[in-house]
Amino acid sequence: MNTTPNSNPKGLADVVVSDTHITSIDGLTGKLYYRGYEISDLAKNSSFEETSYLLFYGELPSSSQLNQYSNLVYSNRSLSENIVSLIKDFPKDANVMDFLRTIVSYSSLYDPDLNDNSMEASMNKSIRLLAQIPVMLSYFHRTRNNLEIIPPAEDLDYASNFLYMLTGNMPDKLSSRVLDQCLILHADHGFNASTFSARVTMSTLSDVYSAVTSAIGTLKGTLHGGANEAVIKMLREIKDVENINNYILAKFAQKEKIMGFGHRVYKTIDPRATVLREMSKDLQSKLGGNLFDLSYDIEQFVLKEKNIKPNVDFYAASVYSMLNIDDDLFTPIFACSRASGWCSQILEQLSDNRLIRPRAKYIGPEPRSFIDLNQR
């Protein structure tokens, strides 16, 4: 007895579930566009503020729109005392993505718009989340290291302020710009797993916080955002170019995935990896070390052996590490940036909503009679 439709591509591969105006991906040629603008153009020429504006509102801002929007984001950075106090009480050894999922969910309780699902209130909540996630992260990071928290600096842009709050020092121009570009590159990516879970949650007419909480939990996994931290772990284990072949061949022999490689949509190199590869190369030439060389040689070897190409997480790992960012902040930084994509997609879902509710093909036992407990 099977009353369900027959099509069930595993993992919903290549299934189109909705129209979107936000991001398009051409997996065959390796192109990614936000609202029609190519990602490499945005990474080269825009700031994260401009790009997140573009995702939210559909067009690049004029300079007065950009000023107004940036000021709106910057002025929404401050956290209520209750949230700061929970951050200070959090177990210091908590996984940072678990922290983030919990604190975002908790912070909803102090949002005056929590249960207002109008477009206007949902936009307000989106801006607050975008502004506050880096503050939450840096407060937690400093607290777990027994350091005083550094309040946000009103006059610093998104990336610079984040680095400033993490370290307590004014970042140099290069570090700010590199982080800014990383944020642009990670901001949105169509119906990836975390965005899809955000849209599913919003489609029930839940709320923006619940949707972003779902998304954070989904991003954590190593097949998604968690891959960047797994990559730096791998780079540290390999340590030297001479160890690459044995390490990778052993992974293949054990049928283990090489983190930061492969992609559901791209059949060629992920265009974000191309930009990040150049950034990694530049950073190594300025700062020294071997993380770019190591990454590049791994890329060549995996390509030669299996023809699998790097994705966004592969070179992001060496870039973040050269910025002196702790390994377990890599995926949370991805979340800071992706909050702009999640919220844009949540708003798009809300603006033309229908409950997302697919079906499964039942392959269990045929209908059968109940057997009494004493006869089993």
Interface contacts to ligand COA, rule CB under 6 A: 11, 223-224, 227, 257-264, 308, 311-313
Judged by beta carbon, residue 110 or residue 252, the one nearer ligand COA is: 252
**Residue whose beta carbon is closest to ligand COA:** 262
Looking at the Cβ atoms of 121 and 303, the one nearer to ligand COA is: 303
21: annotated active-site residue: no
Q: Tokens for 323?
A: 């910025």
* Dihedral over Cα of 248, 250, 253, 256: its sign: negative
Minimum gap (Å) between residue 40 Cβ and ligand COA: 17
Nearer to ligand COA, 16 or 371 (CB): 16
CA 94, CA 90: separation in Å to the nearest integer? 7
HEC assignment per residue over the chain: CCCCCCCCCHHHCCCCCCCCCCEEEECCCCEEEECCEEHHHHHHHCCHHHHHHHHHHCCCCCHHHHHHHHHHHHHCCCCCHHHHHHHHHCCCCCCHHHHHHHHHHHHHHHCCCCCCCCHHHHHHHHHHHHHHHHHHHHHHHHHHCCCCCCCCCCCCCHHHHHHHHHHCCCCCHHHHHHHHHHHHHHCCCCCCHHHHHHHHHHHCCCCHHHHHHHHHHHHCCCCCCCHHHHHHHHHHHHCCHHHHHHHHHHHHHCCCCCCCECCCCCCCCCHHHHHHHHHHHHHHHHHCCCHHHHHHHHHHHHHHHHCCCECHHHHHHHHHHHCCCCHHHHHHHHHHHHHHHHHHHHHHHHHCCCCCCCCCCCCCCCCCCCCCHHHC
Among 141, 186, 189, 263, the active-site one is 263
Q: Which is nearer to ligand COA, 130 or 259 (CB)?
A: 259
Kindly tell me which of 58 and 358 has the beta carbon lying closer to ligand COA. 358
C-beta of 53 vs 320, nearer to ligand COA: 320
Are the beta carbons of 258 and 304 closer than 8 angstroms?
no
Rounded to an integer, what distance in angstroms lies between the CA atom of residue 223 and that of residue 305? 21
- 240 is annotated as an active-site residue: no
Nearest approach in angstroms of CB 9 to ligand COA is: 10
Q: Give me the residue label for tokens 């591509």.
A: 9
Based on CB atoms, which residue is closest to ligand COA, 22 or 258?
258
Residues with a known catalytic role: 263, 313
